[in-house]
Copies of this chain bind each other. A is one copy, B any other.
């Protein structure tokens, strides 16, 4: 049962993702959302929104991808979408951290999870693209629903949001109107600067 020992070590390691703080908030005491509950939210959005993917997708694959996509943050921390630092360096750090997190697993499971992680980053497959759509929509809808009025400490502008979310138009065109409406309502709530 050597495999099981490593699998439980991995399962224990997952506890740490519940301590990785994101920029988004939660409803109750406006604490920062953590990457574990964010990943749960995304995985559950798969069966709810998959009909809007531009291409056919394997739901199980998208779900697994989203459940593990932030595990590198256990050692590398969360990177804010509007952070201007070196993105390639950020990814290399997360990849290294991810490999460390999965290292107690049997080699077959390590290979499967690593393949899902790098596939998400590569953004070539239909599953990776739709996973990215969900990962881009949840923070938008969360921000509008959860944040207090006029909460825009970093002076985020509409143009910056539109630039970051533009790919949704191609990967899930039927969700683009939602993105535009959400941004518009967020501007009315004072969460983004118009411009």
Please state the number of chain copies in the assembly: 2
Residue from the list B8, B37, B41 in contact with A178, Cβ < 8 A: B8
Q: Are A11 and B138 in contact (CB under 8 A)?
A: yes
Q: Is the interface of A mostly helix, strand, loop or mixed?
A: helix
Bound: A11/B146 CA distance, A: 12
Q: Are B178 and A4 in contact (CB under 8 A)?
A: yes
Q: Which residues of B contact A47 (CB under 8 A)?
A: 64, 109, 112
Name A138-195 residues within 8 Å CB distance of B: 138, 141-142, 145-146, 174-175, 177-178
Q: Which residues of B contact A64 (CB under 8 A)?
A: 47
Q: Are A67 and B48 in contact (CB under 8 A)?
A: no
The verdict on A10 contacting chain B, using a C-beta distance below 8 Å, is: yes
Q: Which residues of B contact A86 (CB under 8 A)?
A: none
Q: Which residues of B contact A177 (CB under 8 A)?
A: 1
Q: Which of A25-33, A77-85, A87-95, A121-129 contacts B (4 or more CB under 8 A)?
A: A25-33
CB distance from A15 to the nearest CB of B (A): 5
Q: Which residues of B contact A142 (CB under 8 A)?
A: 15
List 16 other contacts, CB 8 Å, given A10-B48, A63-B63. A1-B174, A1-B178, A7-B49, A8-B141, A11-B45, A11-B141, A15-B142, A18-B26, A18-B28, A19-B26, A36-B36, A40-B43, A40-B67, A43-B43, A48-B105, A48-B109
A-B contact pairs, 26 of them (CB 8 A): A1-B174, A1-B177, A4-B52, A4-B178, A8-B178, A12-B141, A12-B145, A14-B44, A15-B26, A15-B145, A16-B27, A17-B40, A18-B37, A19-B28, A36-B36, A36-B37, A37-B40, A43-B63, A43-B67, A44-B67, A44-B68, A47-B112, A48-B105, A59-B60, A60-B60, A63-B63
